Structure 1
Amino acid sequence: MTLGTKLAWDDTVLPFQLDRSDIRGRVARLDGVLDGILKQHDYPAPVEALVAEMALLTALIGQTIKLRWKLSLQIQTNGPVRMIATDFYAPETEGEPARIRAYASFDRDRVGGRPMDNVGEGYFAILIDQGKGMTPYQGITPLAATTLAEAAEAYFAQSEQLPTRFQLRFGRSTEAGGTEHWRAGGIMLQHMPKASPEISGGGSGAGGLLVARDILGEDEGEDWNRANLHLDTVEEMELIGPSLPPTDLLVRLFHEEVPRVFDAQPVRFGCTCSEDRVRQSLSIYSAKDIEKMTTDDGRVTADCQFCGAHYDLDPASVGFEAAGGSGHEHG
């Protein structure tokens, strides 16, 4: 296997459909994206794993939505990991890569154990911003799950009435040359949208949340269960290993379901921060407010939580009272 061949499907999301049933899906392989996200921060191992899982979910979900601008995933909890936030930016032009960024806020002194030991009570949220002039969408569901993937499954069942399933694997990989880097792979299955089902009362899942059997009819349920049984046979190296193309993986898992693939979407690590955006975000503040933000060295500084970029500005040049200050807030 040559490096060039490996790169053909690394950092891509491949959409597919199972023609025997009303099920669509995505296969994601992330490599450089995770390295780009995680090398910006000195995360403890459990936090790294949670951020990697959220980034993989973001790649799969973001490619599923007909997105014009940005999809964001968030968890907020009362545990040692207070928040994880990710953004998926749709390609600006046809053929260009989508971009992903992510960061975590946590209490380092309390972090320990397995990744989900650090996630307390809270919620899982999906936010969709289709750009200027469009009303943002936000959906929230309680965190009642043993993995972040299960939290995402609960969100789609509860908020969208779409049965959804994820199989994810991720971790550090060491190649023959001794170079260590992150690899991740995952598959998302989702039942095609139907007319809104009539559901009375709570669901049969944890905490009364809806699950697939609460939403699907008998025949649809059989198709869904059969596809999930196939998915359950996937092995870790098939998801993250460099030797098996996603198309071959789909044939191995779902040949009875007649898989049909579409064009793969490349994804990259990317941040939208800039000095201009920092200046715009500060343009709502008065000179007195800016003075309170000024350091002992006489500067106003800002750090991007996603990519670690550092901005160092002259306080006289920011705020709505600065020369040329526009007073426009960045959206």
Structure 2
Amino acid sequence: MSRPAHVKNVESAESLESAESLITRFMFENLDICGAVVQLSGTWQQMHAGRDYAQQTRDLLGELAAVAAVIGSNLKTPGRATFQAQGQKTGPISLLVVDCEQSGSGDQLLLRGMARSKGEVAAAPLHELLGDGKLLFSLQTAAASTPYQSYVPLDGGSIAQVFEQFMSQSAQQPARLWLFADGAQAAGLFLQTMPAREHAATVDPDGWNRVQQLAATLQRQELQLPATTLLERLFSEDDLRVFAPIPVHYHCPRDEDKVRSMLISLGHQEVAGILAEYGEIVVRDDICNHEYRFGAEIIAELFPSAGQTLH
């Protein structure tokens, strides 16, 4: 596959370009700017399948999923980043949550998430939809016994504006985000300045402003193009180094063993009492949209030493 000379790949990307969900990182060779293109299709569709979200709720969750993929791909060590926007009673959206986990080898991202809302959700600024809510960012790595947690102000009228401030503050470098989401795709473009390199400022001292203006011309339909094609269109006069894309997968398998362990922790008496009152035990895994049902036979399975059965 031939490419214009201004796009340079440090790793071959052709084998992944047809994949459904990817995040593609890049940097400007002659500017102190890096970025990423995130394109979630199949992964995003699996996340909201069967949820029956209001359109505005669904689209906000999609934007949060796209941001989570951007930040997850930038983790310096493998770990799991969780983003939880908790709404207050005054807003129609009470919860947006996305987990993004980087695999041990760092060659893929695992994503899952959910939302809660009530009634019709009309288009409105973010602070109105969440009702003066708050965003909790949590990062768990293998090296830390407890997760790092930080509350992020919901300052701004959109998910993009909130995370522009968060990412600018956390890295001490200006950042910009353009996010789009609908039922088929959650996608976006991320840009951030890097610590100054020796020659970059002399090449184009207005580079950051110019690149932002070019990025602002991005159209939703362009995010359906391969990332390299998109970048060539947006930044046709710049030399870019495009890295091999990272696949992003929806990861929410059923976990019967985890649910059984939870029931064991409740104890024989509590489990038997629930069965006696309701006739069955129903456990909902909201973030993965799974349901687990158990009848009276679960007593003998979980507590064989109890020596009694439920009648």
**TM-score, normalisation: structure 2:** 0.79
Does residue 267 of structure 2 align to residue 286 of structure 1?
A: yes
Paired residue type of 1:19: E
What SS class does the counterpart of residue 157 from structure 2 fall into? coil
Deviation at 1:245, TM superposition (A): 1.7
Does residue 217 of structure 2 align to residue 229 of structure 1?
A: no
Work out which of the residue numbers 283, 286, 292 in structure 2 matches 1:302: 283
What is the match of residue 80 of structure 1? 92
Q: How does 1:180-219 map to 2 (within 5 A)?
A: 182-192=184-194
RMSD: 3.2
Paired residue type of 1:76: Q
Q: Is the 8 A contact 1:171 1:184 kept in 2?
A: yes
Work out which of the residue numbers 110, 114, 122 in structure 2 matches 1:113: 122
Q: How does 1:25-104 map to 2 (within 5 A)?
A: 25-78=35-88, 79-93=91-105, 95=107, 97-104=108-115
Change (3 A) 1:145 1:133: closer
Looking at CA atoms only, which structure, 1 or 2, has the larger radius of gyration? Answer: 2
Does residue 247 of structure 2 align to residue 266 of structure 1?
A: yes
Unaligned runs of 5+ in 1: 173-181, 195-216, 326-331
Work out which of the residue numbers 151, 154, 160 in structure 2 matches 1:143: 154
The CA distance in 2 between the partners of 1:312 and 1:227, in whole Å, is: 54
Q: Is the 8 A contact 1:282 1:318 kept in 2?
A: no
What is the match of residue 309 of structure 2? none
Deviation at 1:220, TM superposition (A): 10
Change (3 A) 1:298 1:126: same
The CA distance in 1 between the partners of 2:213 and 2:298, in whole Å, is: 60
Q: How many residues are aligned here? A: 283
Unaligned runs of 5+ in 2: 1-13, 307-311
Point out the more displaced range, 257-266 or 63-72: 63-72
What SS class does the counterpart of residue 182 from structure 2 fall into? strand
What percentage of residue pairs aligned between the two structures are identical? 26
1:58-82 Cα deviation digits (max 9, x unpaired): 1222112234131111111212111
Q: Is the 8 A contact 1:33 1:268 kept in 2?
A: yes
Q: Is the 8 A contact 2:17 2:226 kept in 1?
A: no
The CA distance in 1 between the partners of 2:300 and 2:271, in whole Å, is: 10
Deviation at 1:30, TM superposition (A): 1.3
